[in-house]
Amino acid sequence: MFTYVPLLWSVYLSFFDAHNTVSPHRFVGLDNYTSMLRDRAFTDSLGTFGLFALFIVPATYALSLALALMVNRLRYLQAFFRSVFFLPAACSYVVAAMIWKLSIFNGVRFGLANTVLGWFGADQTAWLSTTHPPWYWLVIVTVRLWLQAGFYMVLFLAGLQRIPAQLYEAAAVDGARPGWQVFRYITFPQLRATSVAVALLLVINAFQAFDEFYNLLSDSRGYPPYARPPLVYLYNIALGRGQNLGEGSAGAVILALIIAVVTVVQARWFGLGRRED
């Protein structure tokens, strides 16, 4: 109810001129759409986001799968390691962004990363404010990896525990070498259903990226022009100084359409829904 009604309202609102008001009066047709699509800042934000998703989804996938494989083989301390990797899931993006921004990747005088690099004689880096090279990507990506990997590791662990032991015994009889071969021909195919679920959830979560971008990069002067995901940009347009709710809605509709297309393509690709009768 609170998704579809606003979505429809958003479509309706996107055809109107709605500055500072929630009751639009002037019909402007597709003007909001054309002005959004011509807006470099908006298209750039879509690009930024695409790059982010393209990187964060496989990276989180690989890290959480690797963690699950390693933890699953442990005979002792399995619960301990699982807890350690799972614990960041309790942390909010706001808190994590603070630790990253003010304690690890602080660029000015202090900060763990610069201290450690200093031991090796490296110069200090202003992690979040240099755009060439774009070190802020490292900050943004590591926050999300830290926060998410443990949760998906648990999903993979659940999948691993469901693989019947006979399969491994049969593989051993057939002479499959433990390690890569077993993983390639037994473990990975058996994890297919889990993999699909994890990939979908990761993409959905990447689409929602807002909290850490907002908290890492904005300060009292506002948000810098680089590294803007679409949600941050829409937030600025709709609720910032302009309060342009019409254009904001148009942007939201464009974004929703893109997400819908990507999701459908992805679902087809993975064959999701085939088993639903």
Partner 1 sequence: MEKALLGFGRAVRLVLLVVLALLFLIPFYLLVRNGLSTEQDITSPDWTFFPSHLRWSNVGELFDDPAVPMARSLLNSGLIAVTTTVGTVLLASLAGYGLARIPYRYANQVFYAVLGTLMVPAAVTFVPSFVLVSSLGWISTMRGLIVPTIFSAFACFIFRQYFLGFPGELEDAAKVDGLGYWRTYWRIVVPNSKPVFAAVSTIVFIGAWNSFLWPLVIGQDKSAWTVQVALSTFTTAQVVNIHELFVAAAVSILPLLLVFLLLQRHIVAGIERSGIDD
Distance CA 162, CA 145 (A): 25
- Touching partner 1, residues 27-66 (CB under 8 A): none
Phi and psi at residue 263, to the nearest 5°: -65, -45
Interface segment toward partner 1; rule CB under 8 A; list 52-60, 128-136, 153-161, 163-171: 153-161
Is residue 71 a contact point for partner 1 (CB under 8 A)? yes
Site string for partner 1, 78-117 (x = CB under 8 A): ---xxxxxxxxxxxxxxxxxxxxxxxx----xxxx--x--
Distance CA 205, CA 269 (A): 19
- Touching partner 1, residues 170-229 (CB under 8 A): 178-179, 193-194, 196-197, 204, 207-208, 210-211, 214-215, 218-220
Q: 132 or 180: whose CB is closer to partner 1? A: 180
State the minimum distance, in angstroms, from the CB of residue 94 to partner 1. 5
Amino acid at the residue 8? L
Site string for partner 1, 118-137 (x = CB under 8 A): --------------------
Amino acid at the residue 204? I
Interface segment toward partner 1; rule CB under 8 A; list 39-47, 68-76, 125-133, 180-188: 68-76
State the first-to-last Cα distance of the chain, in angstroms, to the nearest integer: 26
Distance CA 95, CA 216 (A): 10
The per-residue DSSP string of 1-53 comes to -TTHHHHHHHHHHTTEE-BS-SS--EE-TTHHHHHHHH-HHHHHHHHHHHHHH
- Touching partner 1, residues 218-277 (CB under 8 A): 218-220, 231, 234-235, 238-239, 245, 248-249, 251-252, 255-256, 259-260, 263, 276-277
Choose among 147, 127, 135, 125: nearest CA to 202.
147
Is residue 1 a contact point for partner 1 (CB under 8 A)? yes
